Chain A
Amino acid sequence: MHALDHVDLDVAAGEYVSIMGPSGSGKSTMLNVIGLLDRPNSGTYELAGNNVADLDDSELAALRQQQIGFIFQSFHLVARMTALENVELPMLLKGVAPKERRQRAADALASVGLAPRSTHRPDQLSGGERQRVAIARAIVMRPNVLLADEPTGNLDSRSGAEIIRIVEELNKDGLALIVVTHDPTLGARATREIKMADGRIQADVLDPVTPP
């Protein structure tokens, strides 16, 4: 039994892809492989010209840092840090100078409309605001791919719609967007919809039709 079985997928720069499927269909594993958190046991994965199999832990981490932004269903903000510090975190890990770090983090927060909330801690923010902090953190390293794992799963429909609006705008600016979801309405918004079951790609639909 393999989580992924003979999957062949090519995603172009700036594409908007949704990956759909029931739980256990392999869509999360797919996301982890794309996000360099997991490696395929066999087969190859190339990201921006790098064959992942050739990279060691620190090269993988560096590539992840530079190419991929993550958004999670449960936000994964560090509770003891302010919104600004959370956004600074990837740059802190990379060793960017504090002054530049603060400026870039503030800019990223402003771009998701959270400039006035930068000194708040996660527990002082609403769910939608937390996810916007997470988006700011995901884009602050200017990655090429934004990976969103059920980004609206913990949000009410209004905040969810706001989050989708923001990430789709980022996609229009050229950032490849890959959304993993089991919400058919959300999945159908993408320009390309991958349907998965039992670790295999069942369907690969361009310009899917929004279900009624």
Chain B
Amino acid sequence: MDRILVGLKRVVDYNVRVRVRADGSGVETDGVKMSINPFDEIALEEALRIRERGEAAEVVVASIGGSEAQQQLRTGLAMGADRAILVVADSAVEPLSAARVFMKLIERESPELVILGKQAIDDDNNQTGQMLAALWARPQATFASKLELGGGKATVTREVDVGLEKIEVDLPAVITTDLRLNEPRYVKLPDIMKAKKKPLDEISLAELGIEDAPKIVAQQFEPPAARQKGIMVEDVAGLVAALKDKGLV
């Protein structure tokens, strides 16, 4: 195939303990480490492996966000993507708008495969890939833990609640990644230098002419209800007594 399109979202790093602002207006992101959404990193790794096996010619990474998202796209280029597109947006876009943006990119780039993370670890929505497949009227293979290509089709093993489900989809298609699809590579210093020379195009959101979607408004943020700190027991006898006390055994 000619091209794989991969989405990279800039999110608060996986290891950061997120805190809600005291006034409930959002979560604290000032001075917090930002990274590529881990599921998107897996999506890029999978695309790179497909290209390295000779099954795709080019891997294009795209993000939607402020100019700071260039950082994550550069990391994607350093991992091995051929070029990058930043759709510049002043504020966060909701999943349907993100899907509409990617639909515009599909019209421009004609990829045979679009690989996205199954969810972003900030809003945990788990929507964009499925929405994009709907708008494109193409197959979706979500929560992929194994992807095999051949004969204009993809055979995808999906992580579902009862185990693993295998489906077959005609290309082009949208794949969303689960954690065990692969282990993303580390970026090496020379690759970071090389990535600076790779093309990174910017398009403004307005330029793409995306239709407005009715907004789901976030009104207030709060920390989760804290669990009371419990008791420590000394041994198994103490544990069994405590469980009996609560009527659990």
Please indicate whether A and B come from the same complex rather than being unrelated chains: no
